[in-house]
């Protein structure tokens, strides 16, 4: 069973994403409300992938990702950004940072698991 960590400061987004991934793919879901909490959970639980919001108070998603890349315990976990920012300059900036992929808000709860699986090349 796949395990996904959702890092987002918005409780509603975490809940909708978690419910959709559990219901449509049967994945186990872990959640965190900040980048720091997410790094701690990722290090302890070793999820198969991380779905992380871009805009969070304090430390944002891209900065959290940089911290993850410096931590050997979590550096190899693929990270997908979840963002409402769809402008070209943002896409280029995100692509240059080394994320596994970028998914956009609002997302379709019925297809979110398939989008993640497609980006990561998961066939099961």
Domain boundaries, the chain: 3-108
**Residues 34-89 pLDDT 10s:** 999 999 999 999 999 999 999 999 999 999 999 999 999 999 999 999 988 666 66
3-state secondary structure of 84: coil
**Residues 77-101 pLDDT 10s:** 999 999 886 666 666 667 678 899 8
State the average pLDDT for the chain.
92
Q: Per CATH, is 3-108 categorized as 3.90.1150.10?
A: no
Q: In terms of DSSP H, where are the helices of 9-78?
A: 11-25, 35-45, 61-69
CA torsion 110-49-10-109 (nearest 10°) is 0
Once rounded to an integer, what is the mean pLDDT over residues 97-111?
90
With cut-offs at 50, 70 and 90, classify the pLDDT of residue 123. Answer: confident
């Amino acid at each position: 069973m796949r395990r996904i960590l959702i890092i987002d400061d918005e409780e509603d987004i975490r809940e909708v994403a978690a419910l959709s991934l559990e219901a449509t793919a049967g994945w186990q879901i872990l959640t965190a409300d900040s980048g720091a909490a997410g790094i701690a959970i990722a290090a302890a639980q070793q999820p198969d992938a991380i779905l992380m919001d871009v805009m969070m108070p304090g430390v944002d998603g891209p900065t959290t990702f940089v911290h993850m890349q410096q931590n050997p315990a979590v550096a190899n976990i693929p990270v997908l950004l979840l963002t409402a920012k769809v402008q070209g300059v943002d896409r280029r900036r995100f692509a240059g940072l080394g994320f596994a992929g970028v998914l956009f808000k609002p997302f379709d709860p019925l297809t979110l698991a398939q989008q993640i699986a497609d980006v990561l090349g998961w066939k099961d």
